[in-house]
Chains A and B, each alone.
Chain A
Amino acid sequence: MPEIKFTNHLKRFFPALTNGPISGHTIAEVVAALDVAYPGLSAYIVDEHGKLRQHVNIFVGEDMIEDREGLSDKVNEDERMYIFQALSGG
């Protein structure tokens, strides 16, 4: 199973969030699986049409995903994913 690592900022809203294995062959499947494990989490990552939020980044390995609209990027069994917030603030 691929592995996922989260920004600490998300743990603020989902204190039980833990890095680790997650099922799915595409980013969209992974996000759906995350929402089952942590109900409501997907709404923090994607908007109501499933598009990656503007100030959220998902990496597979060291590469940022390409399909921010449909999350169709593939994830291999041995890969690691990261969900980060973009750098912004004020």
Chain B
Amino acid sequence: METKNLSVVLATRKGVLILEKQSSRWEIINHSFPGIPISYAFRHPYSGVLWAALDSDHWGAKLQRSDDDGKSWQDVEMPKYPEGAMTNADTPAILSYIWTISEGHAERPADIFLGTEPGGLFYSKDGGKSFALVKSLWDDPGRSQWFGAGRDHPGLHSVVVDPRDANHIYIGISVGGVYESKDGGESWVPKNKGLIAEYLPNQNAEVGHDPHLLVMSPSNPDVLWQQNHCGIFVSRDGSENWEKASEESGPAHFGFPVMVDPTNPETAWVIPGVSDEVRMAVDGALCVSRTEDGGKTWTAFREGLPQENCFDIVFRHGFDQMGDVLMFGTTTGNLFVSENRGESWELISSFIPPVYSVRFMK
């Protein structure tokens, strides 16, 4: 694959970074919002608008857009939870964090979804001029069983739209679980059968699971993968049933990101970490694990990655793919690229800030 002029946008602890592959090197070509934590950044594939979610320590969560790939930015009016909306902690709901910004179906190129904390899904039909809370999800009785993990409130971090049907939407909430809508968000059903919640008295509860990231196979949208707090899970029947796909003995179990191959639903990648109470690279050595048989077996690839005294993990949106090129950014500011589907890696930089998202500019 021709990799020249590939570009990628990073959300980091100290602003947005845009990198471009020039000849054989990845160069930082833009740094926007220096010093401001960015929770997520991506270029909308249909509009070409670059979006950035700011997580300012002082001024709150903010949304910015750029029509010229980061040369200039415009403040976008922040969506609000409706008057009277309350969190599970019985406090007024305030939009405190944008977990994800996502496009909708290709037939609806102006659609944008925001996944937020506390546990909200906001939807724009007009290219981000206005957003409204998806009330059907907020009012779902199951929301009373959602809770925060590592943060005060539940976070909605994954929005996945079926390429076959614009009204078929999945979301992932940490902690809450996977929900499915078949009617464009009018109604929602929890889809967590087969998942295990080791931290709940009822490990097979309908709601209260902790998907860290949910992804759908583009080539077979009935296949969904999730990196869950309690392991890696795959569904081959549109989320009706989940099967554990973690390694029995090996690093592929706990982590945050998961990625599925665009052409093969049985091929997926994860970046393992030591489970929740530690959150570092397994045995101080970083690896990327790939399965090509739907999670029956995994191969850990380590070439080019630090294999001792390594403390990095990768956050849920910190890993992306464009053809054979894979890239991830870590919590300690290392950025790695692979041009052979994850089998060997090259360090792009070890001097960038902690990375929250890595998204190729498609």
Interface residues, chain A, CB within 8 Å of chain B? 9-10, 13, 40, 43-45, 47-49, 53, 55-56, 85-86, 88-89
B60 touches A47 (CB 8 A): yes
The 9 A-B pairs with the shortest beta carbon distances in the complex, nearest first, are: A85-B58, A44-B59, A48-B80, A55-B58, A47-B94, A49-B92, A88-B57, A40-B75, A55-B57
- Cβ contacts under 8 Å, A10 to chain B: 59
Give the residue of A40, A47, A88 whose beta carbon is less than 8 angstroms from that of B58: A88
B60 touches A43 (CB 8 A): yes
Assess whether B99 is interfacial by the CB under 8 Å rule: no
Closest chain A residue to B59 by CB distance?
A44
Give chain B interface residues in 63-95, CB to chain A under 8 Å. 75, 77-78, 80-81, 92, 94-95
B95 touches A48 (CB 8 A): yes
A53 touches B92 (CB 8 A): no
Closest chain A residue to B96 by CB distance?
A47
Give chain B interface residues in 13-67, CB to chain A under 8 Å. 35, 57-60, 62
Provide the bound-state CA to CA distance between A45 and B75, in Å: 15
B58 touches A9 (CB 8 A): yes
Q: Given A40-B77, A43-B78, are A56 and B94 neighbors across the interface (CB < 8 Å)? A: no
B58 touches A86 (CB 8 A): yes
Closest chain B residue to A9 by CB distance?
B58
- Cβ contacts under 8 Å, B60 to chain A: 43-44, 47, 53
- Cβ contacts under 8 Å, A44 to chain B: 58-60, 62
Provide the bound-state CA to CA distance between A9 and B56, in Å: 11
- Cβ contacts under 8 Å, B77 to chain A: 40, 43
Most chain B beta carbons < 10 A, residue from A44, A45, A88: A44
Provide the bound-state CA to CA distance between A49 and B81, in Å: 10
Can you list 19 A-B pairs, Cβ within 8 angstroms, ordered by A? A10-B59, A13-B59, A13-B75, A40-B75, A40-B77, A43-B60, A43-B78, A44-B62, A45-B59, A47-B94, A49-B92, A49-B94, A55-B57, A55-B58, A56-B58, A56-B59, A86-B58, A88-B58, A89-B57
B305-325 vs A, CB cutoff 8 Å, 1 = contact: the mask equals 000000000000000000000
Provide the bound-state CA to CA distance between A56 and B78, in Å: 18
Q: Given A47-B94, A48-B80, A48-B95, are A53 and B58 neighbors across the interface (CB < 8 Å)? A: yes
- Cβ contacts under 8 Å, A9 to chain B: 58
Closest chain A residue to B82 by CB distance?
A48
Give the distance to chain B from A43, nearest Cβ to Cβ, in Å.
6
- Cβ contacts under 8 Å, B94 to chain A: 47-49
Provide the bound-state CA to CA distance between A41 and B59, in Å: 10
- Cβ contacts under 8 Å, A88 to chain B: 57-58
Give the distance to chain B from A4, nearest Cβ to Cβ, in Å.
17
- Cβ contacts under 8 Å, B57 to chain A: 55, 85, 88-89
Most chain B beta carbons < 10 A, residue from A10, A53, A56: A53
B75 touches A53 (CB 8 A): no
Provide the bound-state CA to CA distance between A45 and B62, in Å: 12
A53 touches B81 (CB 8 A): no
- Cβ contacts under 8 Å, A86 to chain B: 58
- Cβ contacts under 8 Å, B62 to chain A: 43-44
